[in-house]
Chain A
């Protein structure tokens, strides 16, 4: 049956839908607040009904009927199989190897998928401080795949991020700080790493060397426009064409079931 694509949708709707399509059925997903939550909840209602969600405040496989406003929300724990705490989330679930997919956000990213959510400028004399790491680098370090959902702006897609909060594919190995492949830093703890970045302009993936390339461009944009919105030299030669549009059913689920109160999708 031909899909009934929506003709009228907002940038965040496509972000949520494209992100939901990254979830494989059966995945154990560790998600952050906001769009990542919408994406996993939409995936559970469409293509990945057997996927489950862990939130870092300690709810494991919750089945919220009302959208949580944050990962510590009482709503996360409704019908959960376990309501524990952070030790369970970070060590009992993540460090022990259950997590297939991490769903995260970021303020800045570089071509290797290193993400900054800590400061603007030199960390020792910052111009601005963001929230800080939260669980972003932890989830990203031991999930088998990580998807970042971000705003596309030239100043956010940088040659080098001001501070590596969350680990990409090429990283400093301490104490020397020499840049090496992620596998050299994580050794036998290596599980995977950033697999996709989804913005309001396109979907990006990483090649075998851990370098970001444009995979699909969202309807209404060109690959060149996306390249112009990066400070590094984005590889657009592998672009497969347009990102699949949201269907009418997906938009209805987002607005009438996932975020029926209009919290993240006003």
Chain B
């Protein structure tokens, strides 16, 4: 409890141990703590257990570097800028990553239950699908539903009969309570109050569900300022353990009212991610080849970044060329 501790990016990533259970802020290619993921790759994290309501470019950066042991989620890709999650797919196919598929709404239920301190939440979403096929419970097949890991539920889901309103069968979806939530946010107050702009995705739930929270903030602002409009904030300072102040830390993903998605950078990464060699060359240039986030920004260049900068009224770049017209 109390105020979060200010740390550097390297110190923050060093808090994560091999095998830890993590979740991240954002949605597919928006508001992902990319700089933190690059740093985990540089520090050579192994066997991470990720719970992600949805995956994205950051998932692929970690998967390509061999950081992921278990991935529980529903989707991975780069939206319009790369249609598949190639590195994660390769890991699932060669057996190096245990993949547990839920539907998107079921994954939300997992984090929601975790956030509210409940063991499960009922849902009628995605019944009758192969997501529920008992043959496809990959954590069970790996022998990991034996109770020895308190973060892995004894069952992927349960089906119960509603005894209260007699609505018939309904699913119970187990809570997810990761060791860590790593949240990229636009603003954090000097006492740790967190603010994001526009859609909140599942950032609020991720903060509440995790045991420890690291916020990578675009900027630190006076606490008095952020408290003038408390309805725009998503978490109090006592919910946050560590803060890193780091501009452009979500690049190449976008951050509403800060900067847009870097489409060209993401397309280039997607092409590279299609092979192990391609990934290695890309990572040698953009992850291992830059010792710090500052060196990464230097390499990107001012004009490149300026083109991504969000219009402060619209919340996204109105100057970048996006299509053919």
Contact = CB atoms under 8 A, between A and B. Distances in A.
Interface residues of A, number: 68
B101 A118 contact: yes
Contact of A171 (B77, B128, B257): B128
Contacts of B54: 134
B51 to A, nearest CB: 14
B323 A131 contact: no
Q: Is the interface of B mostly helix, strand, loop or mixed?
A: loop
A133 B101 contact: yes
B127 A186 contact: yes
A138 B126 contact: yes
Interface string A159-175: 00001111100011111
A73 B30 CA distance: 7
Nearest to B253: A72
A189 B73 CA distance: 25
Contacts of A90: 104-105, 108, 125
B167 A132 contact: no
Contact of B202 (A85, A123, A129): A85
A244 interface: no
B104 A185 contact: no
Contacts, number: 228
A131 B26 CA distance: 17
Contact of A70 (B29, B55, B170, B310): B29
Interface residues of B, number: 77
Given A118-B130, A131-B84, A137-B103, A95 B124 contact: yes
A261 B103 contact: no
Contacts of B99: 129
A126 to B, nearest CB: 6
Given A58-B200, A263-B323, A87 B130 contact: no
Interface of A: 33-34, 56-59, 66, 69-78, 83-87, 90-91, 94-95, 118, 123-124, 126-138, 141-142, 163-167, 171-175, 177, 182, 185-189, 259-264, 266
15 contacts: A33-B79, A33-B80, A66-B314, A72-B199, A72-B201, A86-B201, A87-B205, A123-B136, A124-B135, A131-B75, A133-B129, A138-B106, A138-B125, A185-B127, A263-B322
